Chain A
Amino acid sequence: MIECTALTKVYRGSVRALDGLSLEAGRGEVVGIAGPNGAGKSTLIALLLGYLHPTSGRVRLGGLPPRRYVEHYRIGYVSELIAIPPRWRVEEALKRYALLAGVSDADASAQIPKLLAQLGLEEHRAKPIKALSKGNLQRMGLAQALLGDPDVLILDEPTHGLDPMWLLKFRAVMRDLRRPDRTMLIASHDLAELSALTDRVYIIDHGRVVREVDTRTVTATAASRAYRLILSTGAALVPTIFPGARAVGAEGGFELPAIDLATLNAGLAELLKGGAQVASLAPTESLLEYHFRDAVEKVTA
């Protein structure tokens, strides 16, 4: 559904925002885009919507050039910057966007109250946009994107400004939005969120895809990772079995240095044999965080 091939965008002044980037997202997929600041995420999204023209390479949405797709089919887009005229009122803005999204009056009458309720905007329906808090404005951005139930959703930093409660609710909303004929692309700095919501994540840096991570695969990487270990008994054994382990937090808490799975399992077996009891064991960073750090560090090096 979304296809970018060898996409390059050079701005005036020869700033190379994208440099031969290729990626794809199929129907039914939720694909994430992660990258450090200035990696090219916003440029990529502007190209996907046809707001910018590529210097070279190809972008296709549903097999069509972006503008042709956007102008003929529904697409839901949340930008990092929620820009809605400040005098418009919440419900009025949704009515306007519904007309522009080609939603019939009957569908709009059903969808708008539902979206207001789902996104906690009911009590703000009569307020002007300028009176909304950052979090409410962000939810307003999502509400307008969902009008007309589009088949393609492009979300740029969709949780920017949401409070922790709404972050959790947002994940639930996102899970509900998943369906076999819908393609969702989420660009975010929040790797935990991308891990929780996406099927695959493209890590981009310096305008290129530096790694593609399958977030559905829960099997651990063979590469070395650091772990946080908490023992209820047998803490004294840790420094000998895991040289370099550092005591952290409460008694029995350790941060193990980067080790591979074989070393971890052998060490754990030895700990248990010595009478230790493991209360908790978890990698210090998620698999996606690990890949992100590893990929970006390699590019920087």
Chain B
Amino acid sequence: MAIVRARLGRYAQWQLRDYVIGPGGITLLFVLLLIWLTASTRSMQGGEAHRPPLDWLVTFVAILGSIFATTGLVSDDRSRNYYRFLFAKPMEPLGYYGQAFVLRGIVVVVIAAFVAAVATVITFPISVVGAIIYTAIFYVFVGGITICQSTVWRFAWAGSLGMFLVSKLAALMASPQTGVQQPWRTVWIVLHWVLPPFPQQDRMASLLSSAPQWDAMAGPIAWCLGYGILALMAAALVIKGLEWGR
């Protein structure tokens, strides 16, 4: 008997299509709407009309785009029983989801690069290369956390958004300036260190500028990538050993 393998490379077009006509398309439409709203907003400064900056939109794509690209990636197939026919074919679930994860990441990065290019034209310059790197780092980090959750439950988007909010709050409350008393401050400090490093996002903002401060960003980048890679490894382990159901 000859060994056969699924033609996953050729199947990429379908995975890409599923994403683009689904969450990817919605992300792009939302981004276009926000660009249009921003472009039509002008504030007066020194007698001249200024449009607000768009760097926040790159962050929006990098974080929310990554969450919506990866939530349900595994859990939808599982809860809707699509896995039954998919994984009766000659392929490993890990390869199938790995490819989908990468393809979706590429689209998210392309959308972020598009935002940076548009921003450069209509407001003020954002480094397109910086936006690509920034979004790729956040896709590994946020997408990794979200797909990891997607292997075990359907509401990975809620989990990731919840972690985002709580980790931001923990960073704030753990700071000595907020005056939180012990033992609560210790609790916030522990949460700040244990939860995904979303607050590091602020320290990576210079990636979007024309003069990124690599020295200051090395730590945050390593932390985010490390967290994301660990989450991806955990997701891979779960997918490998997962019981798909009756």
B37: Cβ under 8 A from any A Cβ: no
- Which residues of A are found within 8 Å of B84, using beta-carbon distances? 51, 77, 79, 81, 83
A71: Cβ under 8 A from any B Cβ: yes
Residue among B4, B11, B81 making CB contact with A74, cutoff 8 Å: B4
A70 touches B90 (CB 8 A): yes
A242: Cβ under 8 A from any B Cβ: no
Interface hit among B25-33, B145-153, B226-234, B238-246: B238-246
Assuming the contacts A51-B245, A79-B81, A83-B81, asked whether A100 and B91 have C-beta atoms less than 8 A apart, the reply is yes
Interface residues on A, range: 20 to 34
A100 touches B92 (CB 8 A): no
A72 touches B89 (CB 8 A): no
Cα distance A84–B14 in the bound complex, in angstroms: 14
B85, closest chain A residue (CB): A144
Per DSSP, chain B at the interface is: loop
Cα distance A151–B3 in the bound complex, in angstroms: 12
A148: Cβ under 8 A from any B Cβ: yes
B11, closest chain A residue (CB): A99
Count B-side interface residues using an 8 Å CB cutoff. 27
* Known A52-B243, A71-B90, A151-B1; further 16 A-B contacts with Cβ < 8 A: A42-B246, A51-B245, A52-B246, A70-B90, A73-B1, A74-B89, A79-B85, A81-B84, A83-B81, A84-B82, A96-B14, A97-B85, A97-B89, A100-B91, A102-B4, A102-B6
Q: Can you list 29 pairs linking A and B with CB atoms under 8 Å apart?
A: A46-B244, A46-B245, A51-B83, A51-B87, A51-B243, A51-B244, A51-B245, A53-B243, A70-B87, A70-B89, A70-B90, A72-B4, A72-B90, A73-B1, A73-B4, A74-B4, A79-B81, A81-B84, A83-B80, A99-B8, A99-B10, A99-B14, A100-B90, A101-B4, A101-B6, A101-B89, A102-B4, A102-B6, A102-B7
Task: Point out residues on B near A: beta carbons under 8 Å.
Answer: 1, 3-8, 10-11, 14, 80-92, 243-246
Task: Point out residues on A near B: beta carbons under 8 Å.
Answer: 42-43, 46, 49, 51-53, 62, 70-77, 79, 81, 83-85, 96-97, 99-103, 141, 144-145, 148, 151, 154
3 residue pairs, one from A and one from B, having the closest CB atoms: A83-B81, A77-B88, A100-B89
